[in-house]
Structure 1
Amino acid sequence: MNLSKTVASWGLGTKFVVFSLALLLLVQVAVYSVVRTSINSNVRAQLTQELVIGDKVWWRLLDQNAQKLRQGAAVLAADFGFRSALSSGDTETLRSALENSGARIGAPVTALLNPEFALQATGLERASEAQFAPILQRVAADIGKSDQNHQLELIDGKLYQFVMVPLKAPLTIGWVVMGFPIEQSLANDMFGLSGIHVVLLTRQGALLVSSLPVLDQAALSALGQGGEIRLGADTLVVRHSTTRSDITDVQTYLLRSLDEVVAPYQQVQLALLVIAALGLALFGAGSMVLARRITTPLHALVGAAEQLSRGEYDKKLPALRHKDEIGDLSRAFDHMRSSIRTQQGEILQLAYWDRLTGLPNRTQFRDLLQQSIKASIAMQNSGPPVTVIMLNLDRFKHVNDVLGYAFGDRLLVAVAERLSGLISADIGEVARLGGDEFAVLIESTDAMGALPVAQKIAASFEEPLTLEDQTVDLSAAIGIASWPMHAQDVDMLLSRSEIAMYVAKRKTTGIQIYDPALDSSSTQTLSLLTELRYAVDHGQLRLYLQPKLTLADNTVVAAEALVRWQHPTRGLVPPMQFIPFAEQTGFVRQLTLWMFEEVARALPALRADGRPLRVAINLSTRDLLDQDFPAKLDAMMAKHNAPTDAFCLEITESAIMDDPQRAEATLNRLSERGFKLSIDDFGTGYSSLAYLKRLPVNELKIDKSFVMGMETDESDAKIVRSTIDLAHNLGLSVVAEGVENQLILDKLIALDCDEAQGYYMSKPIPLPDFIAWRTKQQAATA
């Protein structure tokens, strides 16, 4: 009653001021409450999203860390001394190399396993080797079965990241496994990148790694409950990571400071309070005008706060013309929105873009492919097809080995720029899937329609790339697959385009469209390859020799070495049933080395009677393209103390023509070492004459189709005569193969041919039979 009388007694000015101040105060309280509520909601939503993305970034960091570690392991796997020690079975050298390599790159656990993941050697101390042996074998087997290239493993309370790289020659002859401890530095990198803490605990609650400076037992116990925990004066939001399942004994928690995220908003709230105080003071003198100037922009800021709480960071906050605190508050809000959007963009850049080339990475490419297929399915009649062109650079590893990884990275950037220039946005989307592997997504086009684009890409590689005054010739194997013709989902489409790409690389065809037959033969190929590898390792191959007769004195001074497969169930397997397959798969290089090994081992027996004997061995295209082939022969000759002049290397014209420059370089290196070189099947090619004057050839071997036809076809006889004259004019000796009767032999003697071989003299026979046959032949001519 007294208050009512007092108010009633106030003058109009006092009432206006009091009610104005009360109204302003009410508005400020309402705005502050809405802003505070919106901020709390927005902060928690933001933290949840940051932790989800941070979860992906953490595992991506582990993947990138594993990739760096694999590079270190790959250096050891490519080391010549290490491979030589493996070939010779020198366990101590292997242990020393593993220990030194592990110490150099910070890998305390190093091991070498055979192709079946059995332990061969470790870089561990003897006392630790027995403890780690079963763990290493299990880890290697798990990595081999999974599609990941690394695995986490908890050992004696310490978390290790294991990587495994194959040891190829060229097929896998072993595995190098290295274990690197997950250190505090990786968690610190995660925090420095995203502001998110990482804590790794065992299932029993023991702390493994933490980026938090202090973490007491109470906080450790609270982590498993999720939500929010108090750590000192700070509140942290917790997320339990479940992204990976390759290790179940370790719990991964990601934590983000709530107070740190709220701090900028608290400044906004403080600014609001300041504005409210100023408004109250001004309303004491200005009333309605000031109320209108303050409440209107405050309502705008309330809408902006709600906009931020919904995660709408791309919408710019409304511009205010005020040059006072309200305007500053609006600009602070907009700056905060812009900063959050920038941070989110950086995180998304890591997750979906290749940092080296700026192209979409495999994850984004898969998403784009998924979207294209879904959009096509949504159309009537299943919609237009979607095609993937996948390409892999040839000889890129050689570039890295010779010019370094930094140059290789710049070369990848140059390739990406060239592909981006070729493939415009209206044609397709270019992505880098990893390593030297790129892909192109083309919509509304089937495989045949995409073939011109693939041909355009292949043609672009005909122009060498020039970087830092270094010219590099590159080519690429290209595979093409289309949805829905070749696959019904995204992963199958990527898999089948990759299958086509590797077929193109293996067959050196350049471009290959996927065909179901490429898959159907893979299991048969794997089975035959396994059997052939088993045959080499378990002594099922046999060395046969076919004599070469010197026509001048009817003596045997040379022979051709041939391989036969004595299968335990199928008997003697004809060469045509496994040699073409070996050439196709590249296993022919192992067969060639086996031939050299057997001949070098048999040379003392072949020359036991004091008479010289030269043994011819056939080389394939893959042998000539192997830059390390001469070095391998050097090691083998030194191992058996075998002279190089006891060997004649027979090369077909087609092998030379596949890559003349590389073949010529390899042949020159072999000739410098003293090997005699012979052109096999001469006359069946079409370009070899241009290379005879450049290649260090000692001998021509006339193809048996011409020799066998001499008896009835005068044209074949003329070809043989001309070939012999040509060879002699060039200073080369001549060998005629396919001599089936005495008439052909007499004609070759009349044509002054140097040597001959064929079933008339002897078919290919085992080594002991050859020695006996040669002794008998020598006695007959004495």
Structure 2
Amino acid sequence: MRLYRLESKIVALFIVLIVVVQLAGFVAIRTAIDRNARSAISDELVIGERVFTRLLDQNAQKLTQGARLLASDFGFRQAIGTDDHDTIGSVLANHGARIGASMGMLIATDGTIRASTLEYPDTDLQRSSLELVRKADKDNANGAAESVVVGENLFQIVAVPIKAPVTIAWVVMGFPVDRDLVNDMRALSQLQVSILVRQRGRPDWVSDVSTLAKPEAQMLLHEVGDVRAAGPADLQIDGNQYRARILPLAQASNGQQAVAVLQRSVSEAVAPYQRLQLILLSITVLGVLGAAVASAVMARRITSPLRELASVAKRLGAGDYSESLYIRRQDEIGRLGAAFETMRGEIAKRELKISRLAYQDQLTGLPNRLQFADLLRDAIIDGGESPGGTCHILMMDLDRFQQVNDVLGHRFGDDLLRQVASRLTAQLLYPGAKVARLGGDEFAILLPGVNLEGALAQATHILRALEQPLSLQEQTVDLGAGIGIAGYPAHGRSSDVLLSRVEVAMYTAKRKGSGVVVYDPAIDRSSQESLSLLSELRRALERDEFMLYLQPKLDLPSGEVFGAEALVRWLHPDKGFIGPDNFIPFAETTGFIRMLTICMMEKVASLSAQLQRQGIALKFSVNLSTRDLLDQELPGAFAAIVERHGLTPAALCLEITESAIMDDPARAQNTLDRLAAMGFALSIDDFGTGYSSLAYLKRLPVRELKIDKSFVMKMAQDQDDAKIVRSTIDLGHNLGLRVVAEGVESEEVWFLLRQMGCDQGQGYFMGKPMPVERFLEWLQQWRAPEALDQSENMAV
């Protein structure tokens, strides 16, 4: 069972939990047993101490009674009176043997030993006996008993007075604390009893008698040596732990000492509970095994459906939605399985729908661009596998379809595209050919295994078919098309390259109106040149190669300089001067014109601010293109420029052509409204050359109208041009606009415009477009025509 699997984790969790719980219970019970056992042992030791003390007292009373019996014997007292040593010694020995005394002495009242059963009484025994006699005599007692150390043994000695009727002597009897006594104690209390003695001047204990085995008794001597105080203690003997209580028995003034060690084995006390512990351990083991089995079953019951879900998820990830999932359970896992099955079904439906959306054109039902690329890729692979294999593709774009959409509506256009798709499908000449709609009014035809001649024949056949008008919704529509052709392997070896090159051929056919164009590498050179030009334009902007040129604008009645129109010129480091006609149309097509407009606006604003600081107030005009008017961020950019240079928007005029306005009137008017609201003056440039509606122009926030130079330049010779100019001036004034004439190239035209009431003019007669430095020089040198001065004097 692998540990990283969920089943293994569940089993492991159950086992760990039950083991932890059982171990906690086992430790708690074991600790409680040990604590209770020690508490019980402590109680037993306290009781045992009392019992042992009582045994010693009873033994002492027994000895005392035996000694009193001897002291009351008449014959013994008579022997003492006659000082019969032999009789005294014999009586002491015989009586001592009867009562179990191991020694006997007769001590006179003066403290001398008159008789003894020992040939050489121990000095310690003599001293202890005399002290006991003196103590009994002092207390006027009928006898006394005491425990003393004699040699390496503990004795109980008793002293009894012999009276006739006064005390004439003392009988001292000694009884050793022997094994019988400790065995009795062991039998009564189940405690181990050991009598230990220590001689004067010696630190070590000596074992007198003990219920322990001899090796254990020797170990006890070392343990007790570390326990100096009386009372309870814990001892470690031969690997067994004992709870002990040390009872002092004798303490002589000369340093002799005797103690009784009462001890109880903790192991023995706990032994009755070991069976309970074994049972508990067995229950723990059985519980762990049972938990392992139960958890394994439960884990398998949980993880089996999860594995099924994982398998289904893997199949779903691989795109296989065919196999259903059924989990017959009523719990959360069953509901999860049901939800998963619902998800599988929904994903399968959406996948099918997405597949159709991704690979099929929804309008015509034809393959779309993505599916066509796949079909082309397969055709290339098939062609590459056979010697001389080839395939060609046709791409076509309908003519005048945009006008159909604008005039007849998009719904009509959609129906028209469906008709075109049906007609193209019906015009296929080769088996295996496929028609696809790439988007808009673009269609493509795949011709696998067809050579170039066959592709040209198919293209010609399609063009002829499209020459027949299409009838739809009681409308007859004439359509044409431009068709491009490219083939494998002549024009490319990948689908992306072929699609790119056939599109180039198609746009060339559209531009030339030649019907069918086969791809030629020369076509791409112009595209590469365009890309190169775009790169050069960007570098020119970065290197500040664009120059600001100005053409003066003058007030026609007074001849004063009113302002200038800002024009751009390109000074290429290698090609030299490049006219605007060579790059402005391309910049407008690519969108680069927006960056160029911002650049020129920056230059004009900088110049205007510089001249204003010098006291020269001129109004500069900047041209805006169609791309500029569609840029919704343009007003914000212009506002930032004038603010940066400390100008007001009224210092600048923005010129817009009619065609730029009419390309997208709504967006253009939105941009113009925002610029006018900011304070910029707006002018319609090249008026008269476009197709703008006067009603629409009336709504524009413009202040100036510029008549195109094509009407102004020859108005002195052409009466029709003069009439157009006069009408335009009147129209502008009636609309409340200032009128500016472009193309003033002679004094005669100047005076004609002045007579017609034109406000301002610009042209080569006043000044050609010139660099800023040259313009400033011209500004200092300009003088109005003499005829104008004379006419003014006459008027005065």
Smaller-chain TM-score bracket = 0.3 to 0.5
Q: TM-score, normalised by structure 2?
A: 0.43
Rg (Cα) greater in structure:
2
